[in-house]
Amino acid sequence: MSNREDYLFWKLARIFTDKGYSLMHMSEDHNELWLEDTTNKHAQVIRLLRSDLDWGKKLQRDVHHSAVQAENIRKHLMKRQLNVLNIYISMHLPVDEFESYIQRPIQVNKKTLLHSVIIDQENVENGISHVSKILNDDITIQLNDEYEDQDVMELKSAVLTNVVSKSKQEQQFFENGKPFFTYVFLAIQIAMFILLEMTGGSNNQENLIRYGAKFNPLILEGEWWRFITPIFLHIGFLHILMNSLALYYLGPTVEQIFGRIRFVWIYLFSGFAGVLASFLFSSHLSAGASGAIFGCFGALLYIGAANPKLFFRTMGMNVIIVIIINLVFGFSVSGIDNYGHLGGLVGGFLAAAIVHFPKQHKWFTQIGALLLAAIVTGGLLFMGFNNESPEVINGLAQQKLNDENYEDAYKLLNQLVEKGKGDAVTYFQLSYSEIQLQKLEKAKEHLQKTIELDPKFHQAYYNLALLYANEGNFTKAKELVQKALEFSKDKKYEELLNKMNQAS
């Protein structure tokens, strides 16, 4: 026996594994191999079969069986389309009709395409050429007429050693120490939730602000630590439960891949990036580890950018689908800080790119990511602290009004009005500060402006009614209170109207 076909079988296996294909399955007799490279658009999967073909019907059954297996692989890999190259290495061609079974690719569910090629001893060059054409790659093999058993065994051993080595490298990639800081962060956020509940409640805004929730006015006042502290605070039991479960299941994976120190950096920077994005694009009070958790997803996406073959062969589509589901859910449900999620996702990707993987360096990418992160972070901070939109200034002014710092609130709001940027809330707050500072005529003027900008602003009608009532103009005051009652059935509006009716 020449062993020529056996040698060709393992030679092709060696070529494909050297080109990046990984072993998916090997039969017990080592005569069938399924190889995978999801980044190869011409053939994501290659099936190699060393079998002497006798009859066309047997070939037909095997081709159709391979097509079914290929479709199952497509579903497992979650691929929309899958191209499979099915290579038979046989000493002879079938003795009866067989061409119709391999001339055209077999299509399964319009999603899986199976190309079959037979390489026999009389048509090696043509068969290799056909394989090269399907793969759009130049494959050249020079074969001797005969090979010793040892030649085949040495080549087989080299292929299997290469496959095992790659498998160990991939396994080591996912095992860079046992998770530790995942559970530290989990313990901190649970402890903080218990503390919030014991000191006023996790749904109490004042309590959340006291313990460090993201609150734009106080950040603008210089409380920079609020870019970090919100990561460990949660609003309500469902919020802490969902984020704790997400961290419990996702955190260990990221920490094992990147190692403990890198994980701490990724988690905290992602959380910071999420809070920063929320600070810039949302005026609402917020808290939660969602940005940091999305940062863990971002770090996994970086694996897809740095090592796409490994990523899509292991976790790729699952990660992408989970991210899409979470983002769609976030944008379809009110009360979720989507800016924080998106900021954390981008932050996690950049944080992972900066540190790369343990015991590996990619200096150009790492330095580039560091510069990009610094520029983006600096730019967003500058924009946030120099944002003169009414929403931002109104929030800062409201905090000053709550602190009874009426003079500073008046100056802040008046500057915005002078620049022509004020909205209805701006003028209402300005009027309130003016009432406290006894600038009553100006207050009336600005309440009128509030109503002009927002005719349904019932608090403005009420405050204006109080000013007219204070002047003794009850007719005008009644008219204004009745207008306020059209938009709100507030008891204090009804009480004021009753008092004026009794007085008159």
User: Which residues are designated catalytic?
Assistant: 290, 341
8 A C-beta contact, residue 185 and residue 233:
no
DSSP 281: H
Q: Quick one: which of 63, 65, 195 has its CA closest to 116?
A: 63
Residue 219 DSSP symbol = H
How many residues in total does the chain contain? 504
Q: How far apart are CA 478 and CA 495, in angstroms?
A: 11
Strands of the 112-119 sheet, one edge to the other? 22-26, 32-36, 45-50, 82-89, 112-119, 106-108
Where does residue 359 fall: left (phi above 0), alpha (psi -120 to 50 degrees), or beta otherwise? Answer: left
Strands 32-36 and 112-119: unpaired
Strand partners, 119: 89
CA distances for 136 relative to 48, 82, 125, 222, 359, angstroms: 18, 16, 16, 60, 35
State the DSSP code for 143: -
Share in percent of the chain as helix, strand, coil (round to 5): 65, 5, 25
Residues in a beta bridge with 48: 33, 87
* Residue 503 burial class via C-beta count within 10 angstroms: exposed 0-12, middle 13-18, buried 19 and up: exposed
SS in 3 state form for 405-464?
Answer: CHHHHHHHHHHHHHCCCCCHHHHHHHHHHHHHCCCHHHHHHHHHHHHHHCCCCHHHHHHH
**Distance of alpha carbon 213 from alpha carbon 201, whole angstroms:** 13
